Structure 1
Amino acid sequence: MSTSVAGHEGVAPPTSWKWGWFVALGVALIVLGVIAWIDVAFVTVASVIFIGASLVVSGVFQIAHAFMTRQWRGFITGVLCGVLYLVGGFLIMNEPVQGAVVLTLLVAATFIVGGIFRIVLALRHRDVAAWGLILFSGVVSIGVGYLLYASLPWSGLWVLGTLIAVELVVQGASWLSFGLSLRKTQLAAG
């Protein structure tokens, strides 16, 4: 089945003709983000359970892979890694609130370490015009990491859900904007 565009057989319509799909995707993601924001604790627990289930599945595949390739030197390591994934996954799924606290602790540590690296980078490149912004972003990251750590275990109940909600809203807004830009392009072209 061929499509016809402006008399050209087999030519697919330009992406700008499908702007409505991008707008619909953007609106759907924004709505999901707002829903996630309404109950960030539920989204946090659900995401932790999903992470735990992913670890269990990964552990099963790791162990199966180790047995399928047992002639390789890494057999014992493969089995042990698979068992570690299984145990970690089951522990997280069994205690999702504690799992959320541990994951929040990892997020806080990531923010602090990333902030330190940005501060060092900024101080090494003071000759670049925007070094002060990089320094500021590093200080903010350290501050956010410290606040997350200082507010544990309570921050563990809302951090992951909030990050997911923000991601959904920002991604939705970008797709919505992209779709509306495509619509302008289509209107301008014809």
Structure 2
Amino acid sequence: MHDTNGKATGGLSEALAQARQNWGWLVALGVALLVAGGFAVAQAVLFTMASMIMIGALMIVGALTHIIAAFRGQGWKHFLLWLAGGTLYLVAGLATIANPLLASSFLTLLIGASLLASGIVRIWMGIKARPDRGWGWLLGGGIVTLLLGLVIATGWPVNSLWLIGLFLGIELVMQGWSYIALGIALRARA
């Protein structure tokens, strides 16, 4: 949208102006995320178990949604599919809450396998792109991903106690630093 002088109104410029005015809240959010992330890294086992219980609870909510959709739908064909999906979600959610250690073990193995597969694909893509510029970055990224997958896979199942909590903590720390940096950058432009 533009006003009568041709200046942009609303949209991105307005959002940036509001963000500049509230830069302190972004810094405060960043500090809170940084503290939570530090706690999660320090208490990785606790955060792994808590995240598994949260995932189980969300699966149960998804299950109830599917089951309600089954009874609100039209026709037996869709009813049975929605009911079966909801039942599977319910069983998986209850199993996750009942045994978060087993759930974290399964999820850790899945993460390790995914990183191994992704690393192999990236290495292959880097080799295939060899004459083009930047192929080394793709190859290097694939090697790092493959090595990370190998580290996770060789440490499994013991690392499933703390790995997910550690990943969550690192994510929170990185988000915290990024909000702090964004808030400071917005303050400098205010």
SS in 2 for 1:80: helix
1:113-128 mapped onto 2 (5 Å cutoff): 113-128=117-132
2:43 counterpart residue number: 39
Q: TM-score, normalised by structure 1?
A: 0.88
* CA distance, structure 2, for counterparts of residue 89 and residue 77 of structure 1: 18
2:143 counterpart residue number: 139
* More displaced 10-residue stretch of structure 1: 156-165 or 63-72: 63-72
1:5 counterpart residue number: none
Please state if 1:180 is matched with 2:184: yes
* CA distance, structure 2, for counterparts of residue 19 and residue 75 of structure 1: 50
Please state if 1:57 is matched with 2:57: no
Distance verdict in 2 for CA 1:79–1:24, change over 3 Å? same
Letter in 2 for 1:152: W
1:153 counterpart residue number: 157
Q: Which runs of 5+ in 2 are unaligned?
A: 1-13
How many correspondences in the alignment? 176
* CA distance, structure 1, for counterparts of residue 78 and residue 142 of structure 2: 40
2:11 counterpart residue number: none
Structure 1 counterpart of 2:116, from 103, 112, 118:
112
Structure 1 counterpart of 2:75, from 60, 71, 77:
71
Instruction: Note the alpha carbon deviations across 1:29-73, whole angstroms, 9 max, x for none.
Output: 101100111100000000001001111111111011011104263
* CA distance, structure 2, for counterparts of residue 91 and residue 15 of structure 1: 43
* More displaced 10-residue stretch of structure 1: 85-94 or 68-77: 68-77
SS in 2 for 1:73: helix
Indicate the RMSD between aligned Cα atoms, in angstroms: 1.6
Shift of 1:128: 2.4
* CA distance, structure 2, for counterparts of residue 117 and residue 70 of structure 1: 43
Please state if 1:166 is matched with 2:170: yes
* More displaced 10-residue stretch of structure 1: 107-116 or 167-176: 107-116
* CA distance, structure 2, for counterparts of residue 117 and residue 151 of structure 1: 22
* CA distance, structure 1, for counterparts of residue 140 and residue 156 of structure 2: 25
Q: TM-score, normalised by structure 2?
A: 0.88
* CA distance, structure 2, for counterparts of residue 176 and residue 22 of structure 1: 6
Q: Which runs of 5+ in 1 are unaligned?
A: 1-10
1:97 counterpart residue number: 101
